[in-house]
């Protein structure tokens, strides 16, 4: 595994996050560190959106100090990541699977719809999937993803096998810095055609 | 005042949000409604990012039901809004003032830095200011905003008077649907030059 889990800033971020579902956290943090790297190098500005939280009750134990005492996680209305690269709008959803196939039930319709809209508006929209078992990361453009998804509702596979991802998507290579060099994959998929 | 405050969906959003500082809420909601309008028309996909919240403690009163019982508002690392319009990446910060001038102390350095980076990467970056007293909304491109900001540190005005905004920015006209037609202002400022 080439993702640098011992990086202290990754560890800090992990302990900071207390989501009900910790699944995919290391992958997400590797993406976040990669985005920080790209930002610091002036290559791209891509950020993870904060998790939407519905705040119900706030206390003020001290003046100007708000303490949220009742809140709930909300379903995000868009994707996890967006930003700018090579002057283009970039938007993607990051997914992880422990299986050899990524099941469509792990992505919501409104996320697919959102990516479809971005594509229609001229942006770069894709799903990035980490197949943990084989330690491979693939980008799949939303148009391709959508085709596979629609086929799945017509009796085809209800999931994307990593071999299909390898065939129809493009691999994002893992390394040290950045941990996931997915912009090079974007270059190949969208700019070098 | 042309912003339609009686719109039920605005009201719903207002009651949903319980932030420590309710200042600027109606302006933000008018922007959100405008963005919904643009999205539904297929013109643009621009969204407000969720408020970043640091979750400290989560209870599970029932299986699969997470209740956040201790959390705090965090300082956002980027701006409030971003998205895509006419194929371009759009990023802006929305501000409101009750005075005739917008004071620079109400925008943070890291927000200005973020907009500067977006501009350098080829995106559209600006600050949108609602001068409530005169009921006018202006877009000011980050390059212009930065010039005014830098001058302010050299002895010039520490704020942007609405006449300066009118002179150096562009007005976003208020109407019924969308409540704030700021994309028309973007057209003029960035596409019809």
Give me the pLDDT at residue A70, please.
96
Structure tokens at B29: 């909601």
Euclidean distance between CA atoms A111 and B47, whole angstroms: 14
Q: Does B48 touch chain A (CB under 8 A)?
A: no
Euclidean distance between CA atoms B57 and A82, whole angstroms: 28
Residues of chain B with pLDDT under 50: 1-23
Q: Does A190 touch chain B (CB under 8 A)?
A: no
Give me the pLDDT at residue B10, please.
37
| Bigger pLDDT: A14 vs B167 | B167
| Bigger pLDDT: A5 vs A162 | A162
Give me the pLDDT at residue A25, please.
64
Residues B123, A71: C-beta atoms closer than 8 Å: no
Give me the pLDDT at residue A6, please.
40
Q: Is the pLDDT of residue A22 over 70?
A: no
Q: Is the pLDDT of residue A18 over 50?
A: no
- Considering CB atoms only, which of A66, A86, A122 is closest to B73? A66
* Alpha-carbon distances of B104 from A147, B26, B127, B150, B153, rounded to whole Å: 49, 21, 12, 10, 10
Give me the pLDDT at residue A65, please.
84
Give me the pLDDT at residue A79, please.
95
A60: which chain B residues are within 8 Å (Cβ-Cβ)?
A: 20
Residues B69, A66: C-beta atoms closer than 8 Å: no
Give me the pLDDT at residue A19, please.
40
Give me the pLDDT at residue B18, please.
35
Structure tokens at B46: 């621009």
Residues A88, B89: C-beta atoms closer than 8 Å: yes
Q: Is the pLDDT of residue A60 over 50?
A: yes
Give me the pLDDT at residue B25, please.
64
Euclidean distance between CA atoms A118 and B83, whole angstroms: 9
Mean pLDDT, residues A156-181: 94
Which ranges of A97-190 does DSSP label H, i.e. alpha helix? Answer: 109-120, 142-153, 162-168, 182-186
Q: Mind listing the pLDDT tens digit for each residue in A120-153?
A: 999 999 999 999 999 999 999 999 999 999 988 8
Give me the pLDDT at residue A62, please.
82
- Considering CB atoms only, which of A16, A54, A58 is closest to B20? A58
Give me the pLDDT at residue B5, please.
39
Q: Is the pLDDT of residue A12 over 70?
A: no
Give me the pLDDT at residue B1, please.
37
Q: Which residue has the tokens 């991802």?
A: A165
Contact (Cβ atoms closer than 8 angstroms) between residue A173 and residue A184: yes
- CA-based max dimension of chain A: 60
Give me the pLDDT at residue B63, please.
76
pTM recorded for the entire structure: 0.84
Residue of A nearest to B89 (CA): A89
Contact (Cβ atoms closer than 8 angstroms) between residue A51 and residue A27: no
**CB contact burial A157-178 (16+ within 10 A = b; e otherwise):** eebbebebbeeebbebebeeeb
Contact (Cβ atoms closer than 8 angstroms) between residue A83 and residue A90: yes
Q: Mind listing the pLDDT tens digit for each residue in A23-46?
A: 456 899 999 999 999 999 999 999
Give me the pLDDT at residue A76, please.
85
Q: Is the pLDDT of residue A189 over 90?
A: yes
Quick one: pLDDT band at residue A75, thresholds 50, 70, 90? confident
Prediction ipTM score: 0.83
What's the first-to-final CA gap in chain B, in angstroms? 31
Give me the pLDDT at residue B30, please.
95
Q: What are the backbone dihedrals phi and psi of residue A93, each rounded to the nearest 5 degrees, phi first?
A: -115, 135
B118: which chain A residues are within 8 Å (Cβ-Cβ)?
A: 45, 84
């Amino acid at each position: 595994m080439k993702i640098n889990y011992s990086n202290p800033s990754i560890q800090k971020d992990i302990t900071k996050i207390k989501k009900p579902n910790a699944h995919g956290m290391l992958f997400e943090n590797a993406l976040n560190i990669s985005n920080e790297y790209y930002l610091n190098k002036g290559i791209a500005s891509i950020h993870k959106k904060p998790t939407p939280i519905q705040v119900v009750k706030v206390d003020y134990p001290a003046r100007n100090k708000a303490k949220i005492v009742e809140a709930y996680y909300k379903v995000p209305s868009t994707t996890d990541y967006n930003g700018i690269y090579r002057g283009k709008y970039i938007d993607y959803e990051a997914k992880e699977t422990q299986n050899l196939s990524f099941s469509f039930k792990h992505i919501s319709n409104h996320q697919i719809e959102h990516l479809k809209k971005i594509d229609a508006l001229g942006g770069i929209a894709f799903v990035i999937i980490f197949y943990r078992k084989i330690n491979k990361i693939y980008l799949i453009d939303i148009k391709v993803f959508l085709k596979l998804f629609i086929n799945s509702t017509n009796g085809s596979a209800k999931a994307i096998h990593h071999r299909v991802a390898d065939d129809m998507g493009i691999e994002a290579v893992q390394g040290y810095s950045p941990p996931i060099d997915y912009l090079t994959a974007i270059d190949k998929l969208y700019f070098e055609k």
